[in-house]
Amino acid sequence: MTASSGFPDEFLWGAATSAYQIEGSPLADGAGESNWHRFSHTPGRTLNGDTGDVACDHYRRYAEDVELMTWLGLNAYRFSLAWGRILPEGRGPVNRKGLDFYARLIDRLLERGIQPLVTLYHWDLPAALDERGGWLNPEIVDWFADYAGVAFRAFGDRVPMWTTLNEPWVVCDAGYLHGVHAPGHRSLAEAAVAARHLLCAHGAAVRAYGGERTGRIGVVVNLAPKDPATGAPEDLAASVRADAYMNRQYLDPILLGRSPDLLPEMFGDAWTPFRPEDLKLIRQPIDFLGINYYKRGITKFDPSVPIERAIRVPDPRATHTELGWDVFPQGLTDILKWVTQRYGRIPLYVTENGAAFYDPPVADNGTIDDPLRVDYLHRHLHAVIDAIDEGADVRGYFAWSLFDNYEWSHGFSKRFGIVHVDYDTQKRTPKKSARFYADVIRANALTLS
Ligand code: FCB
């Protein structure tokens, strides 16, 4: 027997990408270098020294790529602007050619009936700002708001949905605490300062968008349910800390105007309390929340890890992606329900969800069979339906990612795409997961057999 589970009317069906991961041509047409450009060109920072110099060559192939989105039936596309294409020094003079690239992309999307969801910051900070301290310099709050203002003025009439930051937690944890992302620092004190400035910058950008809105604005966070590895009290406490650090550090100030009580103790001397005016700035009204979900976090006490004093351990019973992430669709339902319960019935979008699995080569008949990714998408889409049935106001889903692309310090070794990219020829080949996704979109429903 076959049953079918439908999605709400006007559900947004999208795919997501980010500038540095797909565009290539990072210095074309007057663009300024980004921190990721410098980081990836520093020996030893990325696997095989891979860089985003070419990536998916989307900067030059964007029109062909929009045709692919049309073929998939997408009605939305989430991508990010490279700050340094628009403001090569991060502030000051605007680079018209950089704006023009995004104008062409946006116009092409709109012609095809695909709604742009634009992320202002997906990790590629202008290097000129990094030289001035980047997220550690309090002036970045104004730099970011000014840059956001340029983008709003240029595209506000055509872009109905904006998000300020992508995953601020990763910016701090990977970039400033553990040094595995640009700018590659390892400092607890810096992680605390960068988090504060990211939050204030978010608020300042939302404020710059204004009260009389032509579209909607939100922020994208990555969330994961944190469960203790054992019943031991230290694991339980570790999972509560991990939850405060990853799930609530950004959302509580943005949506509740306060910071989790546990953070001062966790950050120790690095912590300084928020000033009331900061909290007021951070808590600007937002219209929706973007949630990126990949995995659960089974948590074990480990005193050697700063801040959380916890590590994530894999569930031995789960399927794991190529990055060792537990496949746990129930976690997506849980997270969407948790956000709704804790912060109220705010409109939610799953702004990223997907998996890197080993893919076989392109077959003679031109297909790529990726059953694990099909299963992953199927089960996570079902988890979205469950969350909607249980009261969450989920209005869209964006598969990560449209293409195989530059997976940060993993270089090109991990393929998340529903469309395969041959990095030698730049040929795009839809995987079976892309065909599966196109069928779901066409039906606006999941067919359960
Ligand atoms: C998210 C990032 C995205 C991509 C996926 C796999 O944390 O936002 O750029 O790297 O993970």
Asked whether 292 lines ligand 1 (CB < 6 A), one says yes
Q: Catalogue the active-site residues.
A: 167, 352
Asked whether 167 lines ligand 1 (CB < 6 A), one says yes
CA of residue 269 to ligand 1 center, whole Å? 31
CA distances 260 to 187, 299, 368, Å, are 21, 19, 46
What's the sign of the alpha-carbon dihedral 88, 94, 95, 100?
A: positive
Ligand 1, residue 323: give the atom nearest the CA: 6
Where the chain has pLDDT below 50, the residues are 1-2
* C-alpha–C-alpha distance, residues 447 and 29, integer Å: 46
| Per-residue pLDDT, 147 | 98
CA-nearest of 2, 136, 5 to 444 is: 5
CA of residue 406 to ligand 1 center, whole Å? 10
Ligand 1, residue 408: give the atom nearest the CA: 10
| Per-residue pLDDT, 423 | 98
| Per-residue pLDDT, 2 | 44
- Write the class of the CATH domain 3-448: alpha beta
Average pLDDT over the chain reads: 97
Asked whether 353 lines ligand 1 (CB < 6 A), one says no
> In this structure, which residue's CA is closest to atom 10 in ligand 1?
407
Helix or strand run (H / E) with residue 430? strand 428-430
| Per-residue pLDDT, 1 | 39
DSSP letters of 113-142? Answer: T-EEEEEEESS--BHHHHTTTGGGSTTHHH
Phi, psi of 309 (to 5 degrees): 50, 50
Asked whether 130 lines ligand 1 (CB < 6 A), one says no
- The answer to whether the pTM exceeds 0.95 is yes
For the chain, what are the domain ranges?
Answer: 3-448
Asked whether 166 lines ligand 1 (CB < 6 A), one says yes
CA of residue 80 to ligand 1 center, whole Å? 12
Asked whether 325 lines ligand 1 (CB < 6 A), one says no
* C-alpha–C-alpha distance, residues 353 and 332, integer Å: 9
| Per-residue pLDDT, 214 | 85
CA of residue 36 to ligand 1 center, whole Å? 14
CA of residue 433 to ligand 1 center, whole Å? 19
